[in-house]
Amino acid sequence: MTTTTTTATPTPPPANDANEKTKESSNKKKTNKNKNRKKELSQRATTEQIAKEMFTAAGILENENEEKIIKENFVNDAAEYFHKHQNFANKWLHLLTMPMLIFTGQCYLQRYEIPVPEYMVDMAYDFAKKYGINHLLYIFAKPTMSHAACAFFYICYASTRDFFAATLWLMCWGIPSTLMSIACMYSWTPIMPQVIKYGWFGGWFMQVVVGHGVIEKRRPTLARGGVRYFIPTFIKTSLYAPFYVWLEVLFGVLLYWPELADEIDDRVDEMNAKEEKELRLKRKKKKTT
């Protein structure tokens, strides 16, 4: 008598359980990736840390107190400019006229060449002939005060708290404006004196009279020191105003460095509160008299 043994085939698990397990495993992988990503981002150096390391390596920052002083001075100076430029129309007016002032100033400085040794000029000529860039030769062979001004502006901006924004200014504004001024001075030589004159004085008129007098109704930053300190205040404001306009573009358009923007905004709010308090006191004095 033969006995037949039957083996029971295992029943496969339901499809729903398998799908849930795969979903759970994929979710775990995603969470692990997000954790690793956050950990990686937290370990990356911020722009503030990079600037701090660069200043320390250059010997500019020696201790924390000096760093705080540089930070406070930069925030206060920037807030002073932002406080005087709060109207939206005035901001756009400065955004349009500031490049015009920089351009006309560089065109004027193109008249004054920096003496260069003859062997350097010969090397530039040979290099241009070899690589076929004769039409751009004057950019390299004839440096002018415009080149020096661009380098000086960049050094001043880079010495502030924000080295990265200064480098962006150089690449996106300083160098293009310098090259454009060179091209215009060589291409449109007869009409450039008139362009420089009307562009320079027209830009100042639009900023001071229209922007601050009509639209903003606040004294410009260059007038904050009064008559006694007008010249040093005028020089400092004229030097750093393009950088503050550039910072305003970075803060508003590219959402650059929110922590720094918040610090400047807080300082501007303090200035606004102080200004309102002074106006109230003046009104009370007028009423009593």
Residue 144 in contact with residue 109, Cβ under 8 Å?
A: yes
- Ranges 5-14, 32-41, 122-131, 157-166, most confident: 157-166
The Cα 8–Cα 196 span in angstroms is: 97
Q: Is the pLDDT of residue 13 over 60?
A: no
Is 60 a domain residue?
A: no
Is 156 a domain residue?
A: yes
Is 102 a domain residue?
A: yes
Is 50 a domain residue?
A: no
Residue 147 in contact with residue 114, Cβ under 8 Å?
A: yes
The Cα 178–Cα 182 span in angstroms is: 6
Is 277 a domain residue?
A: no
Mean pLDDT of the chain: 77
pLDDT at 219: 78
Residue 230 structural domain = 92-256
Q: Is the pLDDT of residue 79 over 80?
A: yes
Q: Is the pLDDT of residue 55 over 60?
A: no
Which two tokens mark 285? 């004095």
pLDDT tens digits, one per residue of 259-274: 888 888 888 888 888 8
pLDDT at 127: 77
Is 247 a domain residue?
A: yes
pLDDT grade, residue 65 (50/70/90)? Answer: low
Is 25 a domain residue?
A: no
pTM for the full predicted model? 0.68
pLDDT at 103: 93
For the chain, how many structural domains are there in total?
1
The percentage of residues in the chain with a pLDDT greater than 90, rounded to a whole number, is 13
Is 228 a domain residue?
A: yes
DSSP character string of the chain: ------PPPPPPPPHHHHHHHHHHHHHHHHHHHHHHHHHHHHHSPPHHHHHHHHHHHHTS--SHHHHHHHHHHHHHHHHHHHHH--SHHHHHHHHHHHHHHHHHHHHHHTTSBPP--HHHHHHHHHHHHHHT-GGGHHHHH--BHHHHHHHHHHHHHHTSS-HHHHHHHIIIIIHHHHHHHHHHHHHSTTTHHHHHHHHHHHHHHIIIIIIIIIII-S--GGGTTTTTTHHHHHHHHHHHHHHHHHHHHHHHHS---HHHHHHHHHHHHHHHHHHHHHHHHHHHHHHH-
pLDDT tens digits, one per residue of 205-261: 999 889 888 888 887 776 666 666 677 777 777 888 899 899 888 888 888 888 888
pLDDT grade, residue 58 (50/70/90)? Answer: very low
